[in-house]
Structure formats: structure tokens, C-alpha cells
Amino acid sequence: MKLIYFVVCCIPFILNAQHSRIFPQPAALKTNNETFLHKGQLILPQSDAGKHIVTVFHEAFERESGVHIETGPKPTVELIENIDLAGESYLLEVKSKQIRIEYADMNGLLYAFQTLNQWINLPNEIEGVSIMDQPRFSYRGTHLDCSRHFFTIEELKGFIDQMAQLKFNRFHWHLTDDQGWRIEIKKYPLLTEIGAWRDSTVVGHYSRTPRTYEKQRYGGFYTQEEAKGLVKYAQDRGITIIPEIELPGHARAALAAYPSLGCSGEQLPVEGLWGVFDDVFCTQDETITFLKNVLDEVIAIFPSETIHIGGDEVPKVRWKTCSKCQANIKKMGLKDEHELQRYVIETMEQHLRSKGRKIIGWDEILEGGLAANAQVMSWRGTEGGIAAAKAGHQVVMTPTSHCYFDYYQSSHPDEPLAIGGFLPLEKVYHYNPVPTELTKKEQQFIIGAQANLWTEYLPTMDAVEYHTFPRLVAMSEVVWCIEKRPYSEFLPALARYYLPRLKQQGINYSSAFLDVEMLLKPVPNGLELTPHSSLNVQYFSDANKMEGKIERLELERTAQVVHRTFPVTTWYNNIPYRTTNYNFVTHLALGKAVHFETKPSLKYNYNDSLGLTNGIVGALPWRGDQWVGFTEDTIRFSLDLGTLTDISQIELGTLNDPGSWIYRPQTILVEYSTNGKKFKKYSKQAITEDRIKLVKSKKVKVLRFTITTVSEVEQGMPGAGTTPWTFLDELILTR
């Protein structure tokens, strides 16, 4: 038995306001009655380990703890390598005469000093403590897309510093896509001479029409020497960089440089629009050779065990009409284009395996059969990860529902533009990467989780930081802590201890977690809304004075649409935070429960049975907390008004955003009943606009809805081959 397990069992887990200042929370912590007087200085041994720690941490300790660290002949910090400890673990003990650190490996030593830096909170002394710590998962990742928007090496070093503070150990560097090729490949210089630059960039959201473009040359790339330097910088801080070279899709930047690598051979520009495009790498021998040569240079730069080859969102349109691709299907006895994709992935896997490396890819690499030894990143949900784990493949969980940090984190009207979705801090914190559908044996294949930052709408590092923090702090506890503290304890500790550290370091972060959450409760005349927060937050109707404290708001059901606005100001620690105008509409169905025969997706169903009757009309750009989302091609639900009610109009909102896999449904059938037993047709019609309006005067008690949507996304579109999302908002009835 490894020593770490003995120590963890023997040290009580203690958590209070004083001890909760370490992020992620250690596995075990116990204070003692001793105090170490550091007098502004710590002396480390004159060993390689001691010198490395001084190199990495001297600036951080002086800036954040006010402590100077150096090596010397009389160390006050004892460093002991203990190979009996579990990987990446450490024991930190502070006593009156000395600080003692046992560590399993270099990462464990680095993490001990990250913890020590957070533990020091007094000018000349350190409180006595024993801390034993180890990670829950071996893979603790953060992804950053540098293709859609480019970030400098210095900016990336700062980003890596923040990852290291939170004990992440994998940086997934997204280097190529349709909008830019970012890594120098010496055998193919046009990849960066042409592929690294685009002549225009779409302005605003992808779904906005008509689209407008900023007609400016934009781009950049990293030389191989710069990339090697960043690899070394990350390694020194316990982080492995995993490069991603997208194939066989998301290839427009490469095809702009070398058109012959595509099926059509057509000269196309580097793309300035977000989304998925039909032009992908051809499966011809010339392209396969190109990809192998690119990967050969990539593995010479990056020593990581795994290389990410993408594999996601590969339209098969060009392959279906390409004589070379069709000849390959026939020659190799493949069933279809999905198996042709497997051929490309398997070919790259075999090539990398021959070089002593492994591949990892998005869960689409499961299509047509998974290559041997491949790891899977499950992003479209948990299904891909579950399937891969059951087949004995290692899995990194990164579903959009909990891990996509480019999603909105607040409904506040001042939130910066985002791709869509809704991922608040609390939802990140409560994520469990291990699916309950797996057996204990299968769960061992879940090696960790990863936060993803796609940058279509994050053009600057300031914007990246705003979307990253504090959600990355929450994710650090998800992937590190064997047992997380309650969210009610995490949140005040975050506000008190970690956010001031970020502010001190000049890191931009969001305070959206302070926004009011409105709890809904049906009442006889409509809805009652109660402000709620896990912190000591108060809410007032007056933005400038602590008067008019809001205990609850009431929305009364009306026969006509009435628009109501409630300005609510959030106060925290007696300081006004910001004012949010909560806009509602009232109508005859307000607060009436909807029975969903077709269950909404858990990702987009924030108010359960009141999701269509909560008085909230979905806005654009869309946010996932304002819409009810479905993934079935037929949707059925009913509304019971309770009593016979005169209505003359039914209105229901839909959303059409193909770039986000969301499609306007095709038809709607509404039936009505006066007793809940016999139903007659109220209206049936094709849906041609985003807002459905059905006009007919009837006395009704129950309404029944059947909505059909597009059964499958067509080839060439984002999400091709899948059932698209259907988004509905407020179901409005008026007299």
C-alpha cells in the first residue's frame, strides 16, 4: 500500500473559512499549534530540485506572498523525494523549526509549492499545518483555440501560469483549423505564408443576417523554436502540451496553401466565417503523405505521449463525388464514407504508433470503428465517452454541457457576445466526469476531464480570461479533488481568497456568479419569483441605496400579453455590483405546468415543467437558459389550464441557427379538449417563421402539441447526419 493512502486516512479532513483558501482543496489538511517564522525568506537545498523550484516560483512568491526564495547551504525547507507516494502527490508539513516536503515526482513538488504559496497569509510567519494531497484524475486539461484568434507566446505563458496554479497538467493547444494554420512546418512553408492569414473576419454572431465582415488581414503563427520554448516553459511548470492538428476536416487553411490536397483542387481562401465547411482533406496518397510529413515535424517539436488529430465534424460531401476517394472505398473494400474516415484515422494512428506516440481525437473518431490504442475526447455529450470506455479505450470527458467555457455564464444583458449555450459556475462545479452507466472496471478508463475554450467570440486574451475565470477554478476542484467541499463553502472561499489573487495578478475574471437566480413557484394567480444566491448577496430595487430590499416578485396571469420589467441590483459586501433588468411577459398560460411527453434535454431545460410558461421570451443571440431544447424529430407535450378558458391566439417561439445545429421545426399540430379526454384539431400548419402564431377562438381546458422537425442535418452542414436541436421558448396564450 502506498504511503499516501495511510496518511490521508490518518489526517482528518478539516474545512473552515481559515483553511479553505487553497484551490483546488487538498485531500487532507490539519493545522497544529506551531508557527514557522520565515522573516520574508525561505531557503531551499542547493539541489537540482531546489534550483528548479527557485527558477519557477521566485517571482510568484515575492508578488503574492511577499516571500523571497533562494537556495543556500542552510535550507529552511527540506525536500525529500519519496517514490512510495502515488504519482503527483505530496506531503507538506510546516513546523516551528522547518518546512518539510515529501513528493512523489517533480509535479508533486511543484504542486506542494503552489499550495504553500496560497497558504502563506501573514507577513513574517506561516501557520503550522500538515497537508497530504493527491489528484483524483491523471489527466487535468485546459484547451485553447489559437486558430480562430491568435495569441502571442507571452500571452500563452501567462495562461499556462494560471493553469499551473490550479494544478492542471495538460494544455491542449488547438493549432490548425479552417480560419488559420498556426504552426510552422518547414517542409510546407506555404502553410504559414498563406494558411496563417485570412483577409476578412465575420463581425457579430454567426447566426446574424445579413452577415458583415471586417476586411482586414488577420493572423499569425508560431515558429518551431517558439513552440519548443513554450513546451519547455510548460514542462517546467508540470504541464504537458498536447498539440492538435485537425484532420481530415477543418482543413480550409491548409487547402488555401496547397489546393491539390483537397478533392476539388479548387483555390479557396482561408475562411473568415465560423462553422463547418465541405472542403476537407482528400484521402488520396498525396494528402496522406502530406499529413504524415506534418505529423513527423509536429512530434519533433512536442514530446507529449499523445498527439491530437481532431477527427470531428467531417462532411462527406466532397468524398461522395471524388473519384479518388470512391476508388479508395472500392480498393479497400470499405462500406461507406464513414469507414473511409476510419481509414484516415487508422493510418495516422499507425504512423504515430510507429514513432512511439498515441493519438487522441474528438468522439467522431468512433465513427466506422475506433483505431487501436486511440484515446477519445467525448465532447458531444457522454455517449461517445461511454462507448469508448466500454470498448477499453482511455477517455477524457469534455462534454459541451459542463466543459465549454466559451458558453454564456450569465443572462445579464451586458454579458459579452458568446457562441451560445449557458454554463454557470455552479454547473461546472457540480460536474462528475465519471458516467454512472459504467461499471467499476469501465470507470478506470475515464482518465480525466478538460475545459475547452473555443475563440470564435474571444478575440483577445482579456476575453479569454473573462470566460475562463472563475469557472476554471471550479473545474480544478472537479478534476483534482477526490471529495469536493460543498458548493456553499467553495463559493465564499473563492470570493474571499482566490479572486483577490487574480485581481492582484491583473487577470480579468467574471463576477457573473453574483447575479441573482430567480426561483420560480406557481401560485394561483401566476408566478412568484424569489431571488436566491449561495453567497451573502442582497437584492434591491434601488441601484444606489440599500432600500427596497427584494424578498420576492409576483407576476399575475393576464388575458393579454403584458410586458413587465423588474430592475434588480445585486449588492455584495455592501457594495452595489450591477443592475439587471428582468423582463417578463404575462399571459393566460403563465405559471401553468407543461407535461412533456417528449422530455427536453437536461442541457436546455432550466425550469422543468415551467420552461415554456415562465414569462421569459428567448432572445438573440441565444442563451441556453432561455430556451427549452429537444433532440428528437417529433416533440409532444400538453398544457392543462385547469379550467375551461377562452383563448383566441396561441404563440410559440422557435429558433433557427444551423451553425449551432439548431433548426426551425417543420410542422405544428395543436389539438384542444374541453375535458381532457376528447381532442379536436385546433390548427395544423407548416412552420415558416421563427414565431408561430395560431389564431382561433375556442374554449379550452387542455391543449396538446405535436411538433415535427428536420430528421437529420444534411451533409455539408455542422452536425451532418445527426438529429438537429429544436429550441422552443414561451408558450403564450391570449384571449
Output the pLDDT for position 19.
59
Look at the chain and count its residues. 735
Torsion angle (degrees, nearest 10) of CA 695, 698, 699, 705: -60
Helix (H, G, I), strand (E, B) or coil at 169: coil
Structural domains present in the chain: 3-133 (3.30.379.10), 139-512 (3.20.20.80), 516-583 (no CATH), 594-734 (2.60.120.260)
CB distance 544 to 530 below 8 Å: no
15 pLDDT higher than 70: no
DSSP bridge partners of 448: 139, 396
Query: What mean pLDDT is predicted for residues 252-262?
Result: 98
Dump the DSSP string for 301-346.
H---SEEEEE--S---HHHHH-HHHHHHHHHTT-SSHHHHHHHHHH
The strand pair at 526-532 and 553-556 is best described as antiparallel
E strand or H helix at 487, and its extent?
helix 487-493
Name the pLDDT band for 701 (thresholds 50, 70, 90).
Answer: very high
d(CA 389, CA 448) in angstroms, rounded, equals: 12
State how far the alpha carbon of 140 is from the alpha carbons of 89, 163, 169, 235, in Å.
14, 10, 5, 14
Burial label, 622 (beta-carbon count in 10 A; 0-12, 13-18, 19+): buried
Which of 161, 278, 313, 657 does the annotation list as catalytic? 313
Which of 149, 174, 250, 393 does the annotation list as catalytic? 250
CA-based nearest residue to 286, from 324, 244, 247, 322: 324
CB distance 696 to 683 below 8 Å: yes
d(CA 614, CA 628) in angstroms, rounded, equals: 11
d(CA 676, CA 519) in angstroms, rounded, equals: 30
pLDDT, tens digit, 9 for 90 and up, residues 556-570: 999 999 999 988 888
Output the pLDDT for position 546.
66
**Known catalytic residue: 462?**
no
99-103 β-sheet, strand order: 28-37, 125-133, 90-94, 99-103, 77-81
Output the pLDDT for position 391.
95
The three cell numbers locating residue 372: 487501436
222 pLDDT higher than 70: yes
pLDDT, tens digit, 9 for 90 and up, residues 587-612: 999 999 999 999 999 889 888 899 99
Name the pLDDT band for 37 (thresholds 50, 70, 90).
Answer: very high
**Known catalytic residue: 177?**
yes
Helix (H, G, I), strand (E, B) or coil at 655: coil
What does residue 696 show for φ and ψ, rounded to 5 degrees?
-170, 130
11 pLDDT higher than 50: no
Which of 93, 133, 161, 177 does the annotation list as catalytic? 177
17 pLDDT higher than 80: no
Output the pLDDT for position 16.
46
Q: What percent of the chain has pLDDT over 70?
A: 97
Helix (H, G, I), strand (E, B) or coil at 426: helix
